[in-house]
Amino acid sequence: MNKVCYIVIFALCITIISPFVSIGDLANAQMVILQSSGSSGGNGTPSLQQVTDIGNHTTNSIDFAGGTVTATLYLDADLFTDRWSSLQENTVIGVNAAGDGNMTGDDNSLFGYIAGQALTVGQDNTMIGRGAGASSTDADLNVFLGRNTGNKNIEGKYNTFLGAKAGESGTDVSGSVFIGYDVGSDETTDNKLYIDNSNTPNPLIWGDFSTNEIVINGTASASTVLQDYVWHAYGGFQNKAEVISITAANSWSWVTNAGNNLWSGAESYGMSLTADVMTIDHTGDYFGSLSMTISGLNGKDFQIRLYNITDSAQVGNVIGASTTSVNNFVNITLPLYIENTAGDTYRIEITCNTDGTDPILRSSVFYMTYLHN
């Protein structure tokens, strides 16, 4: 079997590319590309020129001497090929990364001094940083990023640890997400979320993926962005005995009084109530509710509705209720949903379906909320 090992020497570094890659320092070196092909053998120490001309066929050292630098580089293509001969698609960079030499798992990326040092059958891990996953043996599908992240995690799976020392001491933790320096270092159970900048049992954000539980150890706040500061308006009337004239059955009448000042309430910028007519300034979706208490003759059916004056059209459905005796009070609640065009005006109307009986209005309350972009 033809064994090939490439050595790329740059200024200040040597990179050996084989089933793994290691990096060391070499000062004042010029870039030289060496190729070792074939089995090791031969005696003596070849010169640099011999190596570059004919390739290296020796397991002895190659001495680089010139100027103020002397460095020794050992080549052994058999070492690299035999040690990881069964592996596929692993990338290992760093002194003693995967250093125990017993790794049989595939698709691992190990970067840094002793990163994944003890890894054996573990697969699909990404361990970056000095000591990251150093004790892991058959850990799978983990991402450890930072010095000593997941350092003692032996068999954990499906973890994401970001930050130096994150999850450092847990030996068998799985399914957890730790973000921040030293976060979750002492956690020993699975499926946990820690977000903080220190090792604390009460992190800023803690969670349990197995129960979908989340805890914020601090003050949580939310901001609502309001278009033109519009949010809500409300109002109504109470303790009245306002008679509304109904000219005929199913004839709608405006709910107001002689002075057009029956309704009052708290106005919000963008929604105004003037002369018992509401004007909505902005295009958008609005919702709310209107509740009205009515009295009238026995057995009369009354209905209320919201009417768009601008469009000369009813908004949504009508809601009704029946009186059961003379002066009996009945309450009607009308859900409100308005798809408004800027500047539309609205009023409340009432009718008697039975005949032209006039209802007596006792009280009413409404609220309106603006759903904006």
**What pLDDT does residue 133 have?**
94
Report the mean per-residue pLDDT for the chain.
Answer: 77
Quick: pLDDT tens for 97-115: 886 667 888 899 999 999 9
Cα separation, 341 vs 346, whole angstroms: 12
Give strand ranges (E) for 138-208. 143-145, 160-162, 177-179, 192-195, 205-208
Residue 49's pLDDT band, with cuts at 50, 70 and 90, is: low
**Residue recorded with tokens 């592996």:** 87
pLDDT value for 269 = 67
What's the average model confidence in pLDDT over 279-290? Answer: 87
Report residue 265's pLDDT band, with 50, 70 and 90 as the boundaries. confident
Per-residue pLDDT averaged across 24-45, rounded?
Answer: 36
pLDDT of the residue at 231:
54
Residue 309: name the closest of 254, 250, 268 by CA.
254
Closest to 167 (Cα-Cα) out of 214, 157, 159: 159
Does the domain at 227-371 match CATH 2.60.120.40? Answer given as yes
- How many whole angstroms separate alpha carbon 343 and alpha carbon 309? 11
Q: What token pair was written down for 329?
A: 């009070």
Asked if residue 91 lies in contact with residue 108, where contact means CB atoms within 8 angstroms, the answer is: yes
Residue 257's alpha-carbon distances to 13, 17, 60, 228, 234, in angstroms, are 92, 92, 109, 32, 19
Tell me how far apart the alpha carbons of residues 7 and 57 are, in angstroms, rounded to a whole number. 14
Highest-scoring range by mean pLDDT, 12-16, 266-270, 274-278, 309-313: 309-313
- pLDDT given at position 5: 35
Average pLDDT over residues 240-269: 89
Judge whether residue 84 has pLDDT over 60: no
**Residues in CB range of 209: below 8 A, 6 or more apart:** 175, 176, 177, 191, 192, 193
In angstroms, what CA-CA distances link 213 with 36, 111, 178, 204, 208?
57, 34, 16, 14, 5
Over residues 176-225, the pLDDT tens digits come to 999 999 999 999 999 999 999 999 999 999 999 999 999 988 877 655 44
**How far, in Å, CA of 288 to CA of 54, rounded?**
88
Which residues face 4 on adjacent strands?
Answer: 37
d(CA 322, CA 248) in angstroms, rounded, equals 17
Sign of the four-CA dihedral 91, 97, 99, 104:
negative
